Amino acid sequence: MGLYEKIKIDLQRGRFRPGEVLKQANLAELYAVSRIPVRDALQRLQSEGWLTPHGKRGVAVPLFDPLEVEDLYLMRMRIEPLLQTLALNKLNGEILGRARDILDTLEQDPGLSAVQIGALNWQFHACIYRAAGRPTLFAAVEQLHRQCGRYIGYQSGKLGYQNTSQSEHHHLLDSLQAGRGEEAAIQLRDHIEGAGKQLVNYLRTLSE
Amino acid sequence: MGLYEKIKIDLQRGRFRPGEVLKQANLAELYAVSRIPVRDALQRLQSEGWLTPHGKRGVAVPLFDPLEVEDLYLMRMRIEPLLQTLALNKLNGEILGRARDILDTLEQDPGLSAVQIGALNWQFHACIYRAAGRPTLFAAVEQLHRQCGRYIGYQSGKLGYQNTSQSEHHHLLDSLQAGRGEEAAIQLRDHIEGAGKQLVNYLRTLSE
DNA sequence: TACCGTAAAAATGTATACAAAATATATTAG
DNA sequence: CTAATATATTTTGTATACATTTTTACGGTA
């Protein structure tokens, strides 16, 4: 596993506090490597929103920002239905079957962590999106999900949402399977909107 | 000027042919630096679409891809009107004045290069977008523009579009100044759509 | 001749050492 | 005692040297 992923996981798990400033030398010692690979990892983590520039020098762990989440979900609401619609005429039994398998995994395994649930959620939508054959759009959506990833530990933290989300996934898949594309686009939009609102509200309660 | 910018300019000017594979050692010698800063620059250029991964190792200058342009403009059509709308109630005389100044510069100076025109175009919209006070949305839009930047040399190459674009800018600014927000959003959407179609068509003629 | 395995070459990844820049600290003038 | 400037320290940026991996080329075998 690359250093980038190690640091990302530690950020997900809250090993570094929001607001904390990270020094290359510290990280190099912590992960037992030199500063060169640390620099590479930090640059990438920065481009994905896991870290923010700090003054003229160094990077910091960003604070949780409800406005950032709102922006991310506003974009997702507008781009993901588009991509899904572009995939409509490419969908077939095999793809939809894979999607259904992922939903099954989500339901049958009760001991999944928030991060694992988030990863499976993404895989579900991604296997549909990928079918569109639009690499640029797909990469942009993937990037938005990576940025949201910083917060998803908190999304499932609010328990009970998982059930709602899961039934929405099933309805969505049914619409796709039945060829009701416009309905599926609306469902997806609402699905994203709901998740976003849920997350923003939860973050706002945290800062009270 | 940083190495990142130097290489980017050379990519804009076509110093490296599309499809060409770039080696760190060659670039290091070419720009008279070591491979360390080259690696940093390549990573960033890759994240912005100026370079693509090549196999398991190395980077290549991407080919011109009409489908990529189409995707970028589809996203811009959906996100930029949103950001502009969020800026509506923050606009004031000073901001709109700055925007008008930029349009004036575009009209009065006849000897601007395609790259300079592209930069001014962006500054025009950016000074409106920035007013919204939505850093995440702004950063995403900025990123999309950077990715489009790889093609803009060709956008103004097709001469005659500049006049159309310029009058669209004026109409848009008039709507904003008069407080007709929804109309401005539609105008912006059409403005982006027109530019995108123009560019895609031009690229398709190139590959015939 | 085609194919596969191995060795040589080339390119990237990483560590160490040094240079430049930025921040913190101390010192002195007002 | 405050503020400004100079100095010291810390941190990042870059060069050089070495390790690892990937690719390429060669030679042997079926």
Scan residues 30-89 of chain B and list those with Cβ within 7 Å of strand D. Answer: 32-37, 40, 55-57
CA distance B27 to B18: 16
- Write the pLDDT tens digit of every residue in B83-105: 999 999 999 999 999 999 999 99
The string of pLDDT tens digits covering residues B9-39 is: 999 888 999 999 999 999 999 999 999 999 9
DSSP-assigned states of every residue in B18-29:
TTPEE-HHHHHH
Q: Which residues touch strand C (CB under 7 A)?
A: A 2-3, 32-37, 40, 55-57; B 22-25, 35-36, 39, 57-58
Nucleotides of C under 7 A from a protein CB: 11-17, 21-23
Mean per-residue pLDDT, B181-205: 93
**3 state SS of A206:** helix
* Residues A142-148, mean pLDDT to the nearest whole number: 94
User: Among partner residues B67, B78, B137, which is closest to A134 by beta-carbon distance?
Assistant: B67
Q: Where are the domains of chain B?
A: 3-60, 66-206
Query: What pLDDT shows up at residue B112?
Result: 84
Which chain B residues contact residue A47 at CB under 8 A?
A: 44, 47
Flag if B40 and A44 touch (Cβ within 8 Å).
no
Scanning residues 89 through 118 of protein chain B, those with a beta carbon under 7 Å from any atom of strand D turn out to be none
* A–B CB contacts, 8 A cutoff, strictly below: 53
A78 vs B36, B65, B79: nearest CB: B79
Span A111-136, mean pLDDT?
93
Q: What is the pLDDT of residue B116?
A: 87
Which H or E run contains B191?
helix B181-206
Q: Calculate mean pLDDT across residues A157-183.
A: 86
Query: Per-residue DSSP letters for A130-177?
Result: GGG--HHHHHHHHHHHHHHHTTHHHHTTSTTHHHHHHHHHHHHHHHHH
Is there a contact between A136 and B44 if contact means CB atoms under 8 Å apart? no
Q: Which two tokens stand for residue A113?
A: 């962590």
What pLDDT does residue A152 have? 81
Which residues, at least 6 apart from B93, have a Cβ–Cβ distance to it below 8 Å?
A: none
Pick the CATH number of A3-60 from 1.10.10.10, 2.60.200.30, 1.20.140.10, 1.20.1560.10: 1.10.10.10
CATH architecture group of domain B66-206: Up-down Bundle (1.20)
